[in-house]
Structures are given as structure tokens and as C-alpha cells.
């Protein structure tokens, strides 16, 4: 029969071990947490995911429009918000947009980060908006840094570094306040109108998925040193307790 102390030991080990994972409270009403992390230099915004994203919120199998799933990374450094997206397209010349503050695709009230649009910056990044609700136009003032890379397998990676508060109201840039939540629609296209070579149509009739990002003021929860020390201390105490409970009785105790 397993003693209560043994059950407690196992439970403690499991609880502390699972604290290593990035968590999101059950009550949270947002999709992506942009945790507070280190700044990424402009030169590292190059369309390649590296260690600079290790302190970001990381999400997998996120559905994007009009089809497919993506990996998403989000964080901020108190001055800029950072967003990275990686997914597989059906051509080597798609465009991708992060439509910020948007409920629908090409919402004319939305700010946008546009990547790979042949009509704006082919293969590159443009800080943009939707003046007519149908096509993107580059902002007069280009805020932020972005990059896009498509590999031989049509795996698309985009990285964006954008000021939390650029002050560019003409470009409809969002003021990302601490702990605020903003909407985002991720869409891509490969069948024309700034893209080519595929069949993905962002106007295919599917309802765009509007998601939310929260600008967090704390870092990603990690398995910190104090947690390790606490775990070792608890395990040691419980091990000693278990050992003592299994010690044979002395003769003095037996006579009593």
C-alpha cells in the first residue's frame, strides 16, 4: 500500500516539473501573450527563427486564413512588439499580412504589416493600411522592421518588430499599452493580386479568424533556480521522512 507521504512526493515532483512549461491562465481572454523579453536588433529580423525568440510566447498549430496552420511567437521589450509566424504555403511567392486591430480581412480600420506583396515590396515588408477596405497601401511613414523568407519547401517565415506607440495615426498604427489586448487577423494569398504560383485565395469565402494579443508586463514563466532548490529541499525532507518511517523498532521500543 502506498503511504500518503509517497503520494505527496510523486505529486510534488509532477507539479514542479510541469511548472517548466509556459502556461496561460484558464481565465485569460486572449489568444497570444506577448511576454516581456529581450530586445531583438534590427539585423536579427531576417526571416529566420533563432534564439532571440526563446523568451517569447510560443504557439503551435494555429489556424490561419484562408487555410493551413502556423507557429506563432509573440513578445515585447517595453518599446516594441515582436511577432513571428511560420507556416507552409503552396508556392514560393505568397504574400502574408498581419492585420492589426482587425475583425475581418482587409478591414479598412486596420493597421497592417504586409510581407511579400509584389505590388508593395516584393519579398519584403511594408508598414501599411487599408484605405478602401480592398487593397493595402504603404504608410507614408514606415514604422518597424520586418522580414520574410521562403525556403525550398515553401516554408514561409516572417518576423516583425513594431513600435508599441509610433504615434502614426495616419497609418492607423495601434497604441499598444501595457496589459492591453489588440486584435489580429493573419491572412495569406498565393493566386494573384501581389502573389503568384498557388491556389490559396484570401477571399475564398471563409470567415477570417480574429485573434487577440496581450502586451504582458512580465517574462515567460520558467523553471527558475528557486524552483529547483525548492524541489530538491522538498524531495530531501520527504525522503528522510520515508526512511525514518521504515526504520525497524529498537529493543527498547519493543519492550514498551
Residue 208: φ, ψ to 5°: -60, 145
Residue 223 contacts by C-beta under 8 Å, 6 or more apart in sequence? 19, 20
Domain layout of the chain by residue ranges: 4-18+223-255, 32-215
In this prediction, residue 181 carries a pLDDT of 93
Rounded Cα distance, 137 and 168, in Å: 14
CA distance linking residue 56 with residue 215, whole number of Å = 11
Nearest to 70 by CA among 83, 80, 79, 61: 61
Report DSSP letters for 29-82, one per residue.
Answer: --SEEEEE-----GGG-SS---GGGTTSEEEEEEE-BSS-EEEEEEEE-SSEEE
* Per-residue confidence (pLDDT) for residue 161, from 0 to 100: 98
Quote the cell numbers at residue 253.
521500543
Q: What are phi and psi of 17, to 5 degrees?
A: -65, -40
Choose among 9, 7, 2: nearest CA to 237. Answer: 9
46: number of Cβ within 10 Å:
16
User: What CA–CA distance (Å, rounded) separates 181 from 190?
Assistant: 30
Of 12, 6, 5, the C-alpha closest to 228 is 12
What pLDDT does residue 12 have? Answer: 55
Q: Which of 102, 65, 93, 66 is nearest to 182 (CA)?
A: 102
The model's pTM: 0.78
Q: Are strands 111-115 and 95-100 parallel, antiparallel or unpaired?
A: antiparallel
How much is the CA Rg of the chain, to the nearest whole Å? 25
* Residue 77 pLDDT: 97
pLDDT per residue of the chain (256 residues) written in tens, 0 to 9: 555 555 555 555 555 544 444 444 434 589 999 999 999 999 999 999 999 999 999 999 999 999 999 999 999 999 999 999 999 999 999 999 999 987 777 777 789 999 999 999 999 999 998 887 668 899 999 999 999 999 999 999 999 999 999 988 888 898 899 999 999 999 999 999 999 999 999 876 567 789 999 999 999 986 444 555 566 677 677 767 666 666 555 554 544 4
Coil, strand or helix at 186: strand
pLDDT for the residue 106: 76
Distance CA 125, CA 68 (A): 22
Return the number of other C-beta atoms located less than 10 Å from residue 8's C-beta. 13
* Fold entry, domain 32-215: Immunoglobulin-like (2.60.40)
Contact 70, 211 (CB under 8 A): no
The whole-number pLDDT of residue 96 equals 97
Amino acid at each position: 500500500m502506498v503511504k500518503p507521504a509517497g503520494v505527496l512526493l510523486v505529486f510534488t515532483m509532477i507539479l514542479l516539473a510541469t511548472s517548466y512549461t509556459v502556461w496561460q491562465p484558464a481565465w485569460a481572454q486572449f489568444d497570444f501573450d506577448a511576454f516581456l523579453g529581450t530586445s531583438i536588433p534590427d539585423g536579427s529580423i531576417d526571416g529566420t527563427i533563432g534564439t532571440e525568440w526563446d523568451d517569447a510566447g510560443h504557439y503551435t498549430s494555429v489556424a490561419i486564413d484562408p487555410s493551413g496552420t502556423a507557429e506563432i511567437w509573440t513578445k515585447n521589450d517595453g518599446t516594441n512588439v515582436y511577432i513571428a509566424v511560420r507556416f507552409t504555403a503552396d508556392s514560393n511567392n505568397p504574400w502574408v499580412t498581419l492585420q492589426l486591430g482587425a475583425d475581418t480581412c482587409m478591414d479598412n480600420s486596420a493597421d497592417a504589416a504586409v510581407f511579400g506583396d509584389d505590388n508593395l515590396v516584393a519579398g519584403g515588408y511594408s508598414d501599411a493600411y487599408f484605405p478602401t477596405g480592398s487593397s493595402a497601401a504603404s504608410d507614408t511613414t514606415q514604422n518597424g522592421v520586418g522580414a520574410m523568407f521562403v525556403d525550398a519547401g515553401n516554408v514561409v517565415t516572417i518576423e516583425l518588430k513594431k513600435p508599441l506607440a509610433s504615434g502614426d495615426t495616419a497609418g492607423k498604427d495601434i497604441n499598444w499599452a501595457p496589459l492591453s489586448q489588440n486584435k489580429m487577423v493573419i491572412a495569406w494569398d498565393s493566386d494573384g493580386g501581389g502573389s503568384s504560383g498557388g491556389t490559396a485565395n484570401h477571399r475564398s469565402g471563409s470567415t477570417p479568424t480574429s485573434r487577440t494579443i496581450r502586451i504582458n508586463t512580465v517574462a515567460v514563466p520558467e523553471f527558475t533556480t528557486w524552483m529547483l532548490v525548492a524541489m530538491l529541499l522538498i524531495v530531501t525532507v520527504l525522503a528522510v521522512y520515508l526512511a525514518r518511517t521504515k526504520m525497524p523498532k529498537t529493543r527498547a521500543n519493543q519492550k514498551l
